[in-house]
Structure 1
Amino acid sequence: MSPSVLEQTIDRLQDEPVNADQRKPDQGLTVGRFFLEQLAAWGVKRIYGVIGDANLYFLDDIAKQNKIQYVPFLDENAAALAASAEAKLTGRIGVVLGTSGPGLANMLNGLGDAFADGAGVLAITGQVEGKEVGTDAKQYIQQQLTASPIASYTEMLTDADALPKMLHRFLVMSEVRGCVSHITVPKRMFRDKVNGTVTPYSPHLRQPLLAPDKDVDETFRLIAEAKKPMFLLGRGIEGLTGDAVALADAVGAAVAASMPAMNVFPNGHERFVGGVGLAGSEAASVLMAESDLVVMFGTTWWPDDYTPVAARIVQIDAARENIGVGHLLARGLVGDLSAILPRFAQLAQGLRGEEGERAAWKRRIAEVRAQWRRRIDAEAAQDGSPVAPQRVIKTIAECVAPDAIIALDTGDHTLWFNRIFENRGQQVLLSGRWRTLGFALPAAIAAQLAHPDRQAVAVAGDGGVVQTLMEFKTAVNLNLPITVVVLNNGAYATEMNKMENEGLDRLGSTLNNPDFAAIASACGGAAYKASTGEQLRDCLTKALNEQRPALVEVAASPLKMPHLKI
C-alpha cells in the first residue's frame, strides 16, 4: 500500500522545518535605507550628526529622502547632547550619527548625558571596512568595548540580514527603558541589501501600567491620614498639573519639585515651596523635616544632605526599579501616574484640608514660604555692576514667554536658577545627573527644531558655553532664532568658591575669557552686552525678538551659593 499524501509530507518534514520553503517578505532596501525607513516608522524626525569617512554612504542615503531631517553639527559631543535633549523634551527616541574612532569617542560625553538621565537615544556609528576590523587601520577601535559603560545595548552589524531584528530590539529598549542603544556599521555595509521588512511602531509600548485599585486606594488612605503631608514632584507627572493642585489642596500638602519638574505645579501657588537640594529652597528642607509623610510622585531626587533621615516616604513611579533607592519606604506603588493621580484627586474630593491639624499645617506652610519669598526677593533686587546672578535669573524669568523652553548648562548659574526662577509653565532641560558642561546650546538647538513655534533659550556660564560655543554657527546655518544668555563671571565660580571655603589654592578656577558677543557676531548672529540689570533687561528683550540666533553676554558677579562645600 503506497503512503498517503499526508504521510509523504510528514516524511519530508522530518528533514526540513515546516516553513523552510516559505519566502520571507522583503522590501529590497539597503542597510542605509532600511535605517531611515525604520526610524521614520517610529516617528523619528531628525538625525543629529557629524560627517566622517565611515558614514558617507549613509549620508548619501539621508540626502535622497525627505522623511527625516539631517542636522549637521560641528562636534559629535554636541550632536549627541542635542539628541539627548530632544529625547528628554519630546519623549521620542533621539538619534545621533558619527564616524569610527574619534567620532564615537567625541560622542561619548553626550551619550553619557542620555545614559544618566534615562533618555532614549540611538547612536549609529560607522566603522572601518570589515576586512580591517581588528587591525591597525586608521580610526579603528573596538567600538562595542568603548561604548559599553554608557550604551545598554551595543553591537556591530556583521550581516545586513541581522539589521531588522537588531534595530527593532534596540528601538524597543530605548523607547521602553529610556536607555542608550548603539549600532556600529562597517562603512561599505550601508550599501548591502537587507532581507526583511520595516516593523511599524506599536502603541502597546506606551500602554499605561495600571496599578490594582486595591493598592491605589490603600496608598491614598496613607496620604489622606497624614496631618502634615508634603509632595515631592518629578517629571513623571508632566501634564497632570490640575490633578496635582487639586490633591495638594484637598489634603493640605506642602509641595516641592525637582528642577526639571518646576513647570508641573504653579510656582505662585500658596503651597509651593521650591526645590530640594543645594540649589533648592531652605523652606522645602524645613517643611520636609517637619512633615509626617513625604509623597514622591515620579521622581528619584532625594539628596541626602537636604532630606530628613527619618522621613516616612510613599513613592509612586511607573518604573519599579526607581522606588526605594537611597531611602526607606512606608509604601511603594508601581503604576502610571496618568491613571493614579487623577484617581487620588477624585478620592480626595470629600476631604477638607483646612480643618484641625491640617489648618495649623497650612499656616506653617504659609509662614515658612513667606520668609523664603522675602529672602529671595531681596537677593534678586540687588543692583550694581557686575550683576548679581540672582538678578540675572529673575530678569530672565520676567522676560521669557510662559511656554518657553529653557536649556540650562551646568555651573554656578544652574544653582541660582533653581533658587530664584519662578516658573510660569516653561519647560526646563538640563544635564541632570551627568552634569556636563556645554549642554545648553545644543539642547536649545534641538528644542527649537522640535518646537519652532516656541522660544528656545539657552542659559550658560562662561565655563560651560566655551565647550560647545561654535555650535552657535550651527544655529545660524539652520536659521534658528534661539537666544543664548552667557553669565560671564570670569571663573568656574562654583569650584572657585568651594576652594576658597576649604582654604585651598584657587589654581585653575579663573578664566581669561574671549569676547563672547564678538564670537556670536562673527558667526552671523545678533550680539548684545550688558553690565547692569537694566541693560540686561533691554538686551534680553531685543534678543528674544530677533529672527535669528542671538547671544546676550552679561557681566555677572561670582557670588557664593549658601551651603557650598566640596
Structure 2
Amino acid sequence: MSPVTIADAAAPPVLADKNQPTSGLFVSQFVLEQLKAWKVEWIYGVIGDANLSLLDELGKQNAIRYVACRHETAAALMASAEAKLTGKTAVCLATSGPGVTNMLNGLADAAMDRAPVLALSGQVETAKIGTRTKQYVDQQKLNAAIAGKSELVTHADALPELMEQALVRGLLQGQVTHLSIPKDLYPVKVKGEIKPYAAHLHQPLAAPDNEIAELAALLASAERPVLYIGRGVKQTAEDVLRLAEKLSAAVITTLPARPLFPNDHECYAGGLGQAGSEASSVLLSESDLIVMLGATWWPDDYVPAQARIVQVDWNREAIGLGHPLHKGVVGDLGQIVPKLAAAEHLSAKDRGAWRTRVREVCTGWKRQIEAEARADGTPIPPQRVMKTIADHVSDQAIVAVDTGDHTLWFNRIFQAKAGQDILISGRWRTLGFALPAAIAAKLCYPERQVIAVAGDGGVVQTLMEFQTAAEQRLPIVLVVLNNGAYAMEQDRMNVAGMNLIGSALRPPDFAAIAEACGGSGYRASSADELEQSLRQALTGSEPALLDVRTAATPVPHTKI
C-alpha cells in the first residue's frame, strides 16, 4: 500500500472505507461486557418492565452479581455506599417511570458526596418517547439536578461512546451519571468496541514542587497549627500522623475520617461542628494556621475568623468553598503529605506552649466524654450505646451510620480505630442510609464485620432491605436506637418553644420485623442487656437487628 500524500487530499478520507467494527453483542450484552471491563462486580436494582432484557442477560453470567432490592432508593444508596467505600464506580438499575423516580434520593446522596455511581434505567419504546404512554417521563429532565451527565440512548451504535463518557466522567469528577435505554433497543446489535479501564485514569495529579515548598514554609512559620483531615488522606494516614507530631499540631477530623488518626492521641481534638467536640472549637479559635487535608465540609457556625486557612485537595472545585482561603494547593495528597512530613525544618520552631495547650484541651475533652459514656439508666443513654458499640466492634469493622440525633452522639462519643471505615450520608443526610450501606459493604468485603447504626425514625425508610440482607445471607448487625421520636427535630423544636407536632413516633416491634424477614431480633432496655445482645448478634451467621430502648437525651448546643 502506497503512502498517502498531499495530492490525495481531494480523495475521500483515508478511513472512509473502514466500517466501524460490529461488536456482535446486543445492547443488553454490551452493557454488561463494558461494565465487566471496568471491574464492576455488583448491580443493585429493582425489576421492572423496561429492564427485563438486561436482567435476562445478567442471569446468564456470573461475573457481575445482581442484588434484588425492595426499593430503588435503597438500590441507589447501596451503589453510593459501595462507591464511597471502594473509590470505584458502582452501578444501580431501575425501570422507567416510578422506578427511575424512586432512585433519585439515593442518587442525590452519591452526588452530594462525590461518589461515582452509574445509574441505568429502562425507558419506554423509542416510538413512544414523548407521548402519554404509561410510565413515560423525560428522565433527563428528571435527573438534571443530580446527575453530572444524563443521556437517552436513541440508537444502539451510540451506546459505546455514551457508556465510555458516563464511566470516565463519573470516576474522574466524582459524579452521578445516568443512561436511559429504551426497552426496544436491548435486542439490537451494537457497532463499536468494549473500552477497558485505562491506567491513566488513576494517574496521580502531581503538585509543583514550588507549591509544596510554599506550603511547607507556611507550616514552618506557624506557631499554633491545626490539621483538619478528611477521608481524602486515607492512603497517607501514617504520614499525617508524622506531620502532626512534627508540628505539634492539633488534629480534627470529619466523621468518615475518624479512623484515619489515632483517637487516643494526645493531640486528637475530635470532630467538627455540633456533632464534634468542644475541644476542636476551642483550638480552632486559638490557631494561627489551619491546614485542610482532603476535607471539604465546614459548618458555617464553626469557621474561625482569625486563622489563615490552607486547603489541599485533588478537586480544585472544592477548594475554598464555605470558608476563607489563604492558599489552595491542588494535587494528590499521597504525593504532597509525605513530602511535608519529611521536611526537617517544620519542627525548628519552638511550639512547646502550643503542645502543652493542645494536650491540656484534648485531655480535658477526653475526660468529659469518658464520663458521659459511663452514664447509665433505663432507657439507655445514647452516649452509653455508642461507647458499647465502640468497645465491641472489631478493629477492621465497617460502621454505617444513619442520619439523625444518633449521628451527633456517634461522632461525639465513638472512638474509632485504625483499620475501621465509617460510612455516612454526608451532605445529603438522607434518612435510611445505614442499612443499604451496610449491605453493600458486606457484599464488597465479606470478611469484615459490618454494623449499621440507625434511629427509629430513619430506619423505617429502608427497613425492608433487611429482607434483602437475609436473602443474600449477610451477617450484618443493625442497631436501632429507639427513643420514640425524631429526636433531633424534637429537641430543636423544644429549644425554640415550638409545638412538637409530628416529632413523636410509635415505633413497631423492630425485633419481630427482623425475624419475619428471615433474620434474628434482639431487644435491650439496660446496659447489660445491650452488651449481651450485641455480643450474640456480632457472632451470628445471619443478619441481626438489635432494638435498643434509648433515652431521648438532647445533644449539647442544640438549636433551631
**TM-score computed with the length of structure 1 as normaliser:** 0.97
Question: Residue 359 of structure 1 aligns to which amino acid in structure 2?
Answer: G
User: Match for residue 545 of structure 1?
Assistant: 539
Choose which of 491, 507, 513 in structure 2 pairs with 1:497: 491
Q: Is structure 2 residue 25 aligned with structure 1 residue 25?
A: no
Aligned residue in 1 for 2:161: 165
The answer (yes or no) to whether the contact 2:220–2:345 under 8 Å persists in 1 is no
- Distance 1:14-1:520 versus aligned 2 partners, 3 A rule: same
SS for the counterpart of 1:27 is strand
Unaligned runs of 5+ in 1: none
CA distance in 2, matches of 1:301, 1:376: 24
1:243 aligns with 2:236: no
How far residue 304 of structure 1 moved from its aligned partner, in angstroms, is 1.9
- Trace 1:74-113 onto structure 2 (pairs within 5 A): 74-113=70-109
How much does 1:410 deviate?
0.3
The answer on whether the counterparts of 1:315 and 1:333 sit within 8 Å (CA) in structure 2 is yes
- Residue-by-residue CA offset, 1:243-279 (whole Å, 9 max, x unaligned): 1111111111000000011111110111111001010
Amino acid in the other structure paired with 2:351: R
Matched, 1:452 2:446: yes
8 A Cα contact 2:219 2:346, kept in partner: no
Is 1:409–1:459's contact at 8 Å kept on the other side of the alignment?
yes
How far apart, CA to CA, are the structure 2 residues paired with 1:391 and 1:236? 30
CA gap of 1:270–1:136, structure 2 versus 1, over 3 A, is same
Q: 1:12 to 1:210 in 2, by over 3 A?
A: closer
AA aligned opposite 2:368: R
Query: AA paired with 1:165?
Result: E
> RMSD between aligned alpha carbons?
1.6
Comparing 537-546 with 6-15, greater Cα deviation is found at 6-15
Q: Deviations over 1:40-75 (max 9, x none)?
A: 111111000000000001100111111111111010
Residue from 170, 174, 178 that aligns with 1:178? 174
- Structure 2 contact 454–480 (Cα < 8 Å) conserved: yes
Among 547, 552, 559, the residue aligned to 1:558: 552
- Once the two structures are TM-superposed, the CA of residue 349 in structure 1 deviates from its matched residue by 7.2
Cα deviation, residue 141, structure 1: 0.5
Give the C-alpha shift of residue 25 in structure 1.
2.8
Q: Which amino acid in 1 is paired with 2:218? A: L
Identity value in percent:
54
- Give how far 1:310 is off: 2.4
Shift of 1:378: 1.2
Structure 1 residues 317-336: aligned runs within 5 Å = 317-336=313-332
Q: Structure 1 residue 482 and structure 2 residue 481: aligned?
A: no
Shift of 1:330: 2.0
Structure 2 counterpart of 1:275: 271
C-alpha distance in structure 2 between counterparts of 1:244 and 1:431, whole Å? 25
Deviation at 1:12, TM superposition (A): 7.8
Equivalent position of 1:406 in the other structure:
399
Please say if residues 251 and 352 of structure 1, whose CA atoms lie closer than 8 Å, have aligned partners that are also in contact: no
Counterpart contact for 2:220–2:348, Cα < 8 Å: no
- 1:99 counterpart letter in structure 2: T
Equivalent position amino acid for 1:288 in 2:
L
Letter in 2 for 1:543: A
Secondary structure of the equivalent of 1:473? helix
* Conserved 8 A contact 1:98-1:104: yes
Q: Give the conservation status (yes or no) of the 8 Å contact 1:270–1:366.
A: yes
Q: Distance in 1 between matches of 2:476 and 2:347?
A: 46
**1:464 partnered with 2:485:** no
In structure 2, what is the Cα distance between the partners aligned to 1:8 and 1:199?
A: 29
1:433 is matched with which residue? Answer: 427
Answer yes or no: is the 8 Å Cα contact 1:317–1:323 preserved in 2: yes
Q: How far does residue 15 in structure 1 lie from its aligned partner after superposition?
A: 5.7
Which moved further from structure 2: 282-291 or 364-373?
364-373
Question: Counterpart of 1:244 in structure 2: which amino acid?
Answer: V
AA paired with 2:96? S
Q: Deviations over 1:165-185 (max 9, x none)?
A: 110011000010010000000
CA contact (8 A) 2:405 2:487 kept: yes
Counterpart residue identity of residue 421, structure 1: F
* Pairing 1:386–2:349 present: no
Contact persistence 1:239–1:264 (CA under 8 A): no
Distance (Å, rounded) in 2 between the aligned partners of 1:348 and 1:376: 36
* Shift of residue 34, structure 1, vs aligned partner: 0.7
Aligned to 2:502: 508
Inter-partner Cα distance in structure 1 for 2:4 and 2:373: 88
Q: 1:203 to 1:8 in 2, by over 3 A?
A: closer
Q: Any idea what the Cα deviations from partners look like across 1:279-303, whole Å, max 9, x if unmatched?
A: 0000001001101100000111221
- Which runs of structure 2 are paired with 1:34-433 in the superposition (5 Å)? 34-348=30-344, 351=347, 357-425=350-418, 426-433=420-427
Contact 1:38 1:200 in 2 (8 A): yes
2-structure distance, mates of 1:350, 1:188: 64
1:380-408 deviation line (CA, Å, top 9, x unaligned): 11111000000000000000001100001
CA offsets, 1:187-224, max 9 Å, x none?
Answer: 12111100011001111111111011111011111111
Checking the alignment, whether the CA contact within 8 Å between 1:247 and 1:348 is kept in structure 2 is: no
**Partner SS for 1:198:** coil
Q: Classify 1:215/1:289 alpha carbon distance in 2 versus 1 (closer, same or farther; 3 Å).
A: same
Identify if the C-alpha distance between structure 1 residues 245 and 159 changes in structure 2 by more than 3 Å, giving closer, same or farther. Answer: same
**Structure 1 residues 308, 134: CA separation in 2 closer, same or farther (over 3 Å shift)?**
same
What are structure 2's unaligned runs of at least 5 residues?
none
Q: Secondary structure at the match of 2:185?
A: helix
Q: Does 1:518 align with 2:512?
A: yes
3-state SS of 1:494 partner: helix
CA contact (8 A) 1:233 1:297 kept: yes
Following the alignment from structure 1 to structure 2, what is the Cα–Cα distance between the partners of residues 348 and 10? 60
Moved more, 389-398 or 305-314: 305-314
CA contact (8 A) 2:80 2:106 kept: yes
Offset, 1:547: 0.7
Q: Matched residues in 1 for 2:529 and 2:84: separation?
A: 33
Deviation at 1:348, TM superposition (A): 3.6
Answer yes or no: is the 8 Å Cα contact 2:233–2:334 preserved in 1.
Answer: yes
Does the aligned pair in 1 maintain the 2:400–2:452 contact within 8 Å? yes
Alpha-carbon distance between aligned partners in 2 of 1:7 and 1:249, rounded to the nearest angstrom = 65
Q: Is the 8 A contact 2:288 2:306 kept in 1?
A: no
C-alpha distance 106-350 of structure 1, shift in aligned 2 (>3 A): closer
Partner SS, residue 269 of structure 2: coil
AA in 1 matched with 2:505: L
Letter in 2 for 1:207: Q
